[in-house]
């Protein structure tokens, strides 16, 4: 994938095209990271709701099931954030 970021020639147009592709990839990576963080916040909110229900002894089966799904999703989102961060470091020398 790093080959996409290198110009195939040395004309100003080819260099500009390679820079455009790199910038576009950076923007898409940042947008994806933001989406993952929003999803992580949603999972945390669901887990907090379940924890509050446990504390107040008002947990329903639906709340428990949502918390279980949120925990699974949170684990997947954290792994995706780590993977995306590794890609951003490798391609753009940016740390998320």
Task: Give pLDDT tens digits for 42-61.
Answer: 999 999 999 999 999 999 99
The burial of 30, by beta-carbon neighbours within 10 Å (0-12 exposed, 13-18 middle, 19 or more buried), is given as middle
Is a pLDDT exceeding 80 seen at residue 5?
A: no
Nearest to 80, CA basis, from 40, 50, 26:
40
Is a pLDDT exceeding 80 seen at residue 17?
A: yes
The pLDDT of 80-89, averaged and rounded, is: 93
Longest dimension (CA), the chain: 69
What are the domain boundaries of the chain?
9-92
Structure-token match 């949502």, residue found: 66
Question: What does residue 61 show for φ and ψ, rounded to 5 degrees?
Answer: -60, -40
Question: C-alpha angle with apex 6: 80 to 25, nearest 5 degrees?
Answer: 35
């Amino acid at each position: 994938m790093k080959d996409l970021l290198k110009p195939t020639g040395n004309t100003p147009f080819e260099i500009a095209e390679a820079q455009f592709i790199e910038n576009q990839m950076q923007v898409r990576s940042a947008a994806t990271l933001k989406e993952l963080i929003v999803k992580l916040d949603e999972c945390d909110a669901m887990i907090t709701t379940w924890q509050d229900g446990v504390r107040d002894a008002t947990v329903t089966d639906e709340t428990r099931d949502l918390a279980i799904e949120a925990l699974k999703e949170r684990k997947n989102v954290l792994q995706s954030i780590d993977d995306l961060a590794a890609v951003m470091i490798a391609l753009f020398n940016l740390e998320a």
